[in-house]
Copies of this chain bind each other. A is one copy, B any other.
Amino acid sequence: MKLPIAIGATEAPARTKPSNYPEPFASRMKGRTKRPLGDLFGLSNFGANLTTLEPGAVSALQHRHTLQDEFVYVLEGKAVLVTGDIETVLGAGMCAGFKAGGASHHLENRSDVPVTYLEIGDRTKGDEVSYPADDLVGELGPQGWVFRHKDGSPY
C-alpha cells in the first residue's frame, strides 16, 4: 500500500472498532472517536490519534500504564483531566504527559461542545494497564490487548 505524504488530520478515517475494552466498559466509551494518524504513515513505535469527545464522553477508563508513556495536546474545546483525585481543566493549546508508572488519569468532556485533542502513546512491549476504579486489568500480549477481571478470570 502506498503511504500518504501528509493528510489533514480530520480527514483521517475513524478507527473501526471504537473500543478494545470488554463490556460493560466498551459502552462507556460512547461519544469517543479516535482517528489513527501515525498508523497511516506506517509508524510502529508509537501511536498518534486525533480524538474527539462529544459532550459527556471520556478518553478512557481511569488508568495507568506500567511501561508506556502517554501525551495529550488539546486542539479545540475543554477537557477535564482527572489525575488521581485532582481535576485540571485543559483548554486549547494545553498539554499533559503521563509517564509510565505515574498516577492514574483520564479526560472527561463535561462541556456542551466537542473537545478534540492529539494523543500519543508508545508501544513498548510487555506493558500492563491497571484501572483503580474498575474490575479490569489489561496486558499487551503478542496478539494485542488482553483484558481480565482483577482476580485473573477472563471476560
Contact = CB atoms under 8 A, between A and B. Distances in A.
Interface of A: 3, 5-10, 37-38, 40-46, 48, 68-69, 71, 73, 81, 83, 86, 88, 90, 93-100, 102, 118, 120, 122, 124
B48 A94 contact: no
Given A42-B99, A99-B44, A6 B90 contact: yes
Q: Kindly list the 3 A-B residue pairs having the minimum CB-CB distance in the complex, ordered from nearest.
A: A41-B97, A45-B122, A6-B96
B96 A41 contact: yes
B86 A5 contact: yes
How many copies make up the complex?
2
Given A10-B93, A83-B5, A69 B45 contact: yes
Contacts of A37: 71, 73, 95, 97
26 contacts: A5-B81, A5-B88, A6-B88, A6-B94, A7-B96, A8-B94, A9-B94, A37-B71, A37-B73, A37-B95, A41-B96, A41-B98, A41-B99, A42-B97, A43-B71, A44-B69, A45-B68, A45-B100, A45-B122, A46-B69, A46-B71, A46-B122, A48-B120, A71-B120, A73-B118, A122-B122
A92 to B, nearest CB: 10
A115 to B, nearest CB: 14
